Amino acid sequence: MGYRNLRQCVADLERSGRLVRIEREVDPYLEIGVIQRRVYRAGGPALLFTRVKGCRFPMLGNLFGTLERTRWLFRDALRGVEALVRARIDPRELLRHPADLVRLPLAAKNLLPRRARSGPVLQRSCSLAELPQLVSWPKDGGAFITLPQVYSEDPRQPGWRHSNLGMYRVQISGNDYGPDEAGMHYQIHRGIAIHHRAALEQGVALRVNVFVGGPPALTVAAVMPLPEGMPELAFAGLLGGRRLPLAVAANGLPVPAEADFCLSGWLDPQVLKREGPFGDHLGYYSLGHDFPVFRVERIHHRPDAIWPFTTVGRPPQEDTSFGTFIHELTGELIPEVLPGIRGVHAVDAAGVHPLLLAVGSERYTPYAEPGRPQELLTQASAILGQGQLSLAKYLWIANAGDEPPALHRIGDFFRFMLERVDWRRDLHFHTRTTIDTLDYSGRGLNQGSKLVIAAVGGPLRTLADRLPADLRLPEGFDDPTLPLPGILAVRAPVWSAPPYGEDGVLSVFCRMMEKRGAPDGIALVVLVDDPDFVARSLEDFLWVTFTRSDPAVDIDGVGAAVVHKHWGCEGPLVIDARLKAHHAPPLEELPELEKRVDELGAPGGPLHGII
């Protein structure tokens, strides 16, 4: 059986040597975040902070810090979940016809929550100011809940069967928020938006509960990309290995009886307030913007409540384990949802949404060798129309018939694509469209472009694995290096235009290279601020290139031309990946805090031998 609550989980982790207690007083302002990040990078255990400065609640970090530990937490239920996936069973049908559960694996019965008259979570209450005020980065606008489970229901169809449980940023201090107000930052393409719009159209406030803690399955369920109509509460029961008991919170909405905390209230239908800035999973600060105000009516908590948290920052972070675990659970279903697609990989090192790699199938003309991408383009459109995959900014898609390398071998996949891509034909832009809310490379909040790069057939070129002897850079460009075969990184002049402007550097480089001649073996050039940093690792190359460029604005090429409204280039493609005036600032660690954390890893310290 799975865990009934978080305290049960903590006890199990401690018994098995997978958790360390930190009994020294630690500060939730910056210090705890540094500790958690250091232990995560070391592949260390879960952390229970029992003495949190200024707060009576213990804090639990790094719970999902390794994939091995994440699998271990759900070891009792995984076989049942996998059996349902292999059987291609749609859980939504089971919820419509509960009697069918008796003919399915035992795990299926856990899909249905059960009613509870009360529960531990309703036994105590507190204020927002009494909650742990976790601040992870020095320029953060205040404290926010990093592992919230935000519950809402469709006001047109009340009840948990039409509910949404998502993980959205909830700011609980700072800026202009009152003592009973919080910021509700939800990004585009999130389920709560449908409920919020329905409430606004009816002229009513949207009731919302924010759960914190409870059985770990609730946290994972809140980030699962489930099909529309499949309530996350049902999946939490399936993954947790037991039916989820639901009590009723102050606002009348359900609350898991074994949750640790529940912030119960409603979204103000008339007031927006500035939320942020905050460090985010792209590795930058998401800037301050106006978002709905969550008016907190009451905060319920259990007597022995534990506050779980994570750190949001440049990948890899703890949510990397989330993503990998979720892919293991759902990866087999991709061909069912997207016919012809053999695999999809959202690249964590590039911030997930900025870069998607995929393998599709050219089946339109089985009687002939495909001479150009055909069905791959249809499949790319299907990917960009599917759930959160629609937030992808760059989509590179290969043909399975050409036997591309596995998608997780990212460097090999890039080499495969760059050997085959024809820049005159294989670039397909989506201009003036929506992109991830946290991506500031575009023309404004949620605004930017997308690029599909599709390649079919055999190699067209041999990629250089060392700097070409005939390389001659234009004046003002220097320090060339090869991060990957066929990819040239070049230092360009520092951005000099105002926000959302153009300083002409990209165009100057391309036009000058046309006069000088493109070097042999180079398929892609990336203009950057620091070529040495970009070439330091594959992760650094991916992060800089794909988080700092907007395809429609920051791409040009040597020998560029437009033919029948289709843009392409004869020579290398060029991406301008410099930091620009409208970009959000990147996150940076504080050396003085790093030194303080070093003391915890010294002999006699609680983290000795771990960090």
Is it the case that residue 291 has pLDDT exceeding 80?
Answer: yes
How much is the pLDDT for 508? Answer: 97
- For residue 26, pLDDT beyond 60: yes
CATH number at residue 448: 3.40.1670.10
Distances (CA, A) of 498 to 432, 502, 580, 582: 20, 8, 8, 8
Domain boundary residue among 423, 455, 487? 455
- Give the pLDDT score at 329: 82
Residue 239 pLDDT > 80: yes
* Residues 6 or more apart whose Cβ sits within 8 Å of residue 327: none
Half-sphere exposure in the Cβ direction for 338 (13 Å, CA): 27
Mean pLDDT, rounded, for 164-188: 96
Same domain, 153 and 223: yes
pLDDT higher than 60, residue 328: yes
Distance, in Å, from the CA atom of 168 to the CA atom of 146, rounded to the nearest integer, reads: 8
Check pLDDT > 90 for residue 537: yes
For Cα atoms 403, 405, 409, give the angle at the middle one, nearest 5 degrees: 170
Give, in degrees to the nearest 5, the angle at Cα 238 between 236 and 244. 55
The whole-number pLDDT of residue 551 equals: 98
The stretches of 258-341 forming alpha helices (DSSP H) are: 318-330, 334-337
| Residue at 257 is within a domain | yes
219, part of any domain: yes
Mean pLDDT of the 377-405 span: 94
Mean pLDDT of 430-436: 94
The answer to whether residue 600 sits within a structural domain is no
Q: Residues 41, 43, 46, 49: what is their CA dihedral angle, to the nearest 10 degrees?
A: -40
Segments forming the whole domain that contains residue 236? 6-314
| The pLDDT of residue 85 | 67
Domain termination site, one of 429, 455, 481: 455
Residue 520 placed within a domain: no
Q: Are residues 247 and 377 in the same domain?
A: no
Claim to verify: residue 308 and residue 378 sit in the same structural domain: no
In a shared domain, residues 355 and 296: no
Q: Do 53 and 179 have their domain in common?
A: yes
Cβ count near 378 (within 10 Å): 13
* Pairwise pLDDT comparison (415 vs 106), residue with the higher score: 415
- According to DSSP, the residues that pair with 394 across neighbouring strands are 355, 451
pLDDT, position 388? 84
309 and 348 share one domain: no
| pLDDT of the residue at 256 | 98
Query: Would residue 320 count as lying in a domain?
Result: no
The pLDDT score that the predictor gives to residue 368 is: 81
Taking the C-alpha atoms of residue 88 and residue 336, their distance in angstroms, rounded to an integer, is 8
Site of tokens 């914190």: 212
- Of the chain, the percentage scoring pLDDT greater than 70 comes to 96
What mean pLDDT is predicted for residues 405-412?
A: 97
Last residue of a domain, one of 283, 314, 345: 314
Q: Which of 32-46, 94-108, 167-181 has the lowest mean pLDDT?
A: 94-108
Q: Is residue 155 in some structural domain? A: yes
Same domain assignment for residues 178 and 283: yes
Q: How many domains does the chain have?
A: 2
Pair 229, 86 in one domain: yes
Tell me, what's the pLDDT at 421? 98
Same domain? 239 vs 148: yes
DSSP 555-608: EEETTEEEETTEEEESS-EEEE-S--TTSPPBP---HHHHHHHHHHHSTTSTTT
pLDDT digit string, tens, across residues 89-135: 566 665 666 655 554 556 678 889 999 999 999 999 999 999 999 99
The answer to whether residues 304 and 394 belong to one domain is no
Asked if the structure places residue 537 within a domain, the reply is: no
The predicted pLDDT at position 107 comes to 66
Residue 196 placed within a domain: yes
Helix (H) or strand (E) holding 163: strand 163-166
Cβ proximity of 317 and 37 under 8 Å: yes
In this prediction, residue 119 carries a pLDDT of: 96
Look over the chain and give the mean of its residue pLDDT values, rounded to a whole number.
Answer: 93
Q: Report, as an integer, the average pLDDT of 445-460.
A: 96
What's the pLDDT score for residue 99?
56
Q: At 1, is the pLDDT very low, low, confident or very high (cuts 50, 70, 90)?
A: low
- CATH number reported for the structural domain that contains residue 283 in this entry: 2.30.110.10
Q: Are residues 137 and 279 in the same domain?
A: yes
Looking at the structure, tell me whether residues 337 and 270 fall in a common domain: no
Q: What is the pLDDT of residue 229?
A: 73
Average pLDDT score over residue span 590-600:
90
Q: Average pLDDT for residues 39-64, to the nearest whole number?
A: 97
